[in-house]
Amino acid sequence: MADTLLAGPTTTAPARRGHLGPSPWHALAYVAPALVVYAAFVLYPLGRAVHLSLFDWDGLTLATFVGLDNYLDVVTDGDLRAAFGHALVLIVFFALLPTAIGLVLATLLTRARVRGLPFFRTVVFLPQVIAMVVVGVAWRQLYAPDGSVNDLLGIVGLGGVARAWLGDPTFALPAVGVIGTWVQTGLVTVLLMAGISRIPDQLYEAARLDGAGPVREFFAITLPSVRAELAVALTLTVIAALKTFDLIYITTGGGPGNRTSVPSYEVYNRAFRLGEVGSAAAVGVTLTVIIFAINLAVARIGERR
């Protein structure tokens, strides 16, 4: 052992590969199984989706090439425009509201040194691990005409506004949105709590010596220090808003009318119910491009720090 150790340095230089580890092809063999499955079931379908999106196809008979017509539809077709509009509304509920609430909550709780934070974290994160289908079933019950949302409104004297929330043309979309706020707030709060707890205490002490109040402290220290966490929180929640398929499927099925249809629901509906496979693929590709763009933009913002 001692001999080999001593001999080490002299042998490294010439036989670099032999000493520093496996050959490139050897390394590739370790990657190959994952790559094959990944390429066959993610990369290839992704390319095929782009291909399909250029055709008018019902899934059974011969497809006709239509160029970018399906993409034109995304901009001109009333139903699709409505779906993308609904997605924007959901972004407010899934991303902006949870981020605002999470910032306030995390700031208050982390600096206050209250007890019971681990329990709180476990509880508010819980909605993240429950299947969306189950979340949908639970909230349908809360939103039912005789459900506890209406009961609660009755108790605070607002019995007049009680309704079948998910069946109401005006309120169905915000009602679905509130479910998203409920699911995402915990994730954002826990993420920001972790970020805030990493801010050194001295920063706050210095601010207090300068006579800064809690509000100035928040804008001068807390907010800039958690920029990275905020960027991550917004990416995750905006993407979750854009991928709301199961929740819509379970709670409203896109209805009433098409008041709660979203792009991801349109993909399913068009491909597997209406037989408009090309259009479905175009909506899917558009959705993917939007998600890539959001990720890139956020990565850029993160780099600029």
Partner 1 sequence: MISHTERSANYAILLLFAAIALWPILTILGTALGPDDAGGTGGLANFPAAWEEGRFGSSMLTSIAVSGFVVAVAGVLSILAGYAFGTMRVPGAAVLFPLFLLGLMVPTEVIVVPLYFDLRTFGLTNTFWGIALPQVAQSVAFGTFWMRAYFRSRPQSLIEAGRLDGAGSWRILWQILVPPGRPAIVTMVVLTFMWTWNEFLIPLVMATDESLRTAPLGLAFFQGQHTSGLTLLAAGAVIVAAPVVVVYLFLQRHFIRGMLEGAVRE
- Within residues 1-40, the interface with partner 1 by CB under 8 A covers 1, 4-5, 8, 19, 21-22, 24-28, 30-31, 33-35, 37-38, 40
Q: Least distance in Å: CB of 174 to partner 1?
A: 17
236 makes contact with partner 1 (CB under 8 A): yes
- Within 84-143, the residues that bind partner 1 by CB under 8 A are 105, 108-109, 112-114, 116, 119-135, 137-142
163 counts as binding partner 1 under rule CB under 8 A: no
**What is the SS3 assignment for 128?**
helix
Specify the residue, 32 or 223, whose C-beta has the smaller distance to partner 1: 32
In sequence order, the 6+-apart residues with CB closer than 8 A to the CB of 216 are 207
Amino acid at 280: A
Among 88, 158, 223, 292, binds partner 1 (CB under 8 A): 292
Quick one: DSSP state of residue 65?
E
Q: Say whether residue 248 binds partner 1 (CB under 8 A).
A: no
Give the whole-angstrom CA distance, residue 282 versus residue 270: 10
Strand partners, 64: 56
With CB under 8 A as the contact rule, the residue among 96, 255, 275, 288 that binds partner 1 is: 288
For partner 1, the closer CB: 50 or 89 = 50
Which amino acid makes up residue 92?
V
Residue 197 binding partner 1, by CB under 8 A: no
Q: Where are the alpha helices (DSSP H) in the chain?
A: 2-12, 16-20, 24-38, 44-52, 69-76, 78-91, 97-112, 117-125, 132-143, 148-155, 172-197, 201-209, 214-217, 223-225, 227-242, 246-251, 263-272, 277-303
Q: Is residue 68 within the footprint of partner 1 (CB under 8 A)?
A: no
Indicate which single residue of 206, 295, 297, 300 sits in contact with partner 1 (rule: CB under 8 A): 295
161 lines the binding site for partner 1 (CB under 8 A): no
Q: Is 206 near partner 1 (CB under 8 A)?
A: no
